[in-house]
């Protein structure tokens, strides 16, 4: 499914570096590292019911990604939180909003790859938009020919803006008329889709690929916690596409789409032979968390 333009976002204010700008003013320099080399880190965060969901986990992952890339003069969590609060308040957003939080290595003194050319500190962007979950209730997948990055090349645990690995897979999904593309790891096991994590459920047991060559998503982590706390059997192991084709239920997890059922993979329908409705239970627990958890907005 392709997201549509939402006219409620015509007049939004966007935080760039140290101030709020209108949509048409919100720009980064052509010397910015994100333009020059995709040299930036990012988070997708949702706002539900007057709270920023899992803000502390997102900030921790962003700081870890920035540290792994050796960014200098990184804003503190408190500074980033204040920029988020000011942006949400300026836009009157307390529910139903999505934040694309980006931190670039900043502006360079001249074009080039060398991080020593970055002498002005990081650029922080808080792009908050009105945005419902990006997926319909059920989605279809194909298996991509593009392998997911792994620590041998570019560690997918760094949540960076160098997204061409995923975009190439998404192009294959688009050409095939599917919603998302499953990306395999270098051994042929399922890692995740181009933009979300993936699970299958077999005979009442929830199974997740190991987090070796996927982003260890925050929603993925919550699903694992929900299962453990509610007595739903859960395991992480290598899984082949065959185990997804023949699973009772398959679903994806991510901030953008929340928990989304997969109806078909590579033309194979996912048929529930067990008659258990484990995904519906997990979705119920997750929905409850989104209403109750998170950093309370001060306005």
Ligand X SMILES: Cc1ncc(COP(=O)(O)O)c(C=O)c1O
Q: What residues make contact with ligand X under the rule CB under 6 A?
A: 44, 166, 192, 195-197, 215, 217-220, 253-255
* Closest CB to ligand X: residue number: 217
Q: What's the min distance (Å) between Cβ of 118 and ligand X?
A: 24
Q: What's the min distance (Å) between Cβ of 191 and ligand X?
A: 9
- 179: three-class secondary structure by DSSP: coil
Give the CA diameter of the chain.
62
Measured between alpha carbons, how far is 180 from 161 in angstroms, rounded to an integer?
19
Measured between alpha carbons, how far is 104 from 120 in angstroms, rounded to an integer?
11
Q: What's the min distance (Å) between Cβ of 87 and ligand X?
A: 19
Rounded to the nearest angstrom, the gap between the alpha carbon of residue 283 and the centroid of all alpha carbons in its chain is 18
Q: Measured from the CB atom, is 140 or 219 closer to ligand X?
A: 219
Q: What's the min distance (Å) between Cβ of 192 and ligand X?
A: 5
Cα angle for residues 250, 53, 262 (degrees, 5° grid)? 10
Q: Measured from the CB atom, is 13 or 218 closer to ligand X?
A: 218
Q: Measured from the CB atom, is 36 or 156 closer to ligand X?
A: 156
Q: Measured from the CB atom, is 20 or 218 closer to ligand X?
A: 218
Q: What's the min distance (Å) between Cβ of 109 and ligand X?
A: 31
Q: Measured from the CB atom, is 184 or 215 closer to ligand X?
A: 215
Measured between alpha carbons, how far is 288 from 284 in angstroms, rounded to an integer?
6
Measured between alpha carbons, how far is 222 from 59 in angstroms, rounded to an integer?
16
Q: What's the min distance (Å) between Cβ of 78 and ligand X?
A: 22
Where do runs of H (alpha helix) occur along 125-217?
164-176
Q: Measured from the CB atom, is 122 or 218 closer to ligand X?
A: 218
Those residues with Cβ within 8 angstroms of residue 227's Cβ, 6 or more apart along the chain or in another chain: 206, 233, 234, 282
């Amino acid at each position: 499914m392709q997201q549509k333009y939402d006219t409620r976002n015509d007049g939004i204010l966007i935080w760039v570096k140290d101030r709020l700008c209108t949509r048409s003013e919100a720009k980064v320099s052509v010397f910015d590292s994100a333009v020059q080399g995709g040299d930036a880190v990012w988070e997708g965060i949702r706002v539900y019911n007057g709270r920023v969901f899992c803000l502390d986990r997102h900030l921790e992952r962003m700081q870890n990604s920035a540290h792994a890339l050796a960014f200098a003069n990184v804003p503190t969590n408190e500074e980033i939180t204040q920029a988020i609060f000011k942006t949400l308040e300026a836009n009157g957003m307390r529910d139903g909003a999505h934040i694309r939080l980006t931190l670039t290595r900043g502006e360079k003194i001249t074009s080039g790859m060398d991080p020593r050319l970055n002498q002005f500190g990081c650029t922080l962007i808080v792009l908050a938009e009105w945005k419902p979950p990006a997926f319909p209730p059920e989605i279809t997948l194909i298996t991509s020919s593009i392998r997911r990055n792994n620590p041998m090349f570019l560690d997918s645990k760094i949540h960076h803006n160098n997204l061409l690995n995923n975009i190439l897979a998404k192009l294959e999904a688009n050409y095939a008329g599917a919603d998302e593309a499953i990306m395999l790891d270098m051994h042929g096991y399922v890692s995740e889709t181009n933009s979300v994590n993936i699970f299958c459920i077999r005979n009442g047991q929830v199974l997740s690929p190991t987090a070796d060559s996927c982003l260890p998503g925050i929603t993925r982590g919550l699903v694992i916690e929900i299962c453990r706390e509610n007595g739903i059997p859960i395991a992480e192991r290598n899984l082949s596409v065959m185990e997804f084709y023949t699973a009772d239920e398959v679903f994806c997890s991510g901030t953008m789409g929340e928990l989304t059922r997969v109806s078909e993979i590579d033309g194979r329908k996912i048929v529930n032979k067990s008659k258990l409705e484990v995904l519906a239970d997990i979705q119920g627990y997750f929905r409850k968390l989104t209403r109750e958890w998170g950093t309370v907005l001060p306005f």
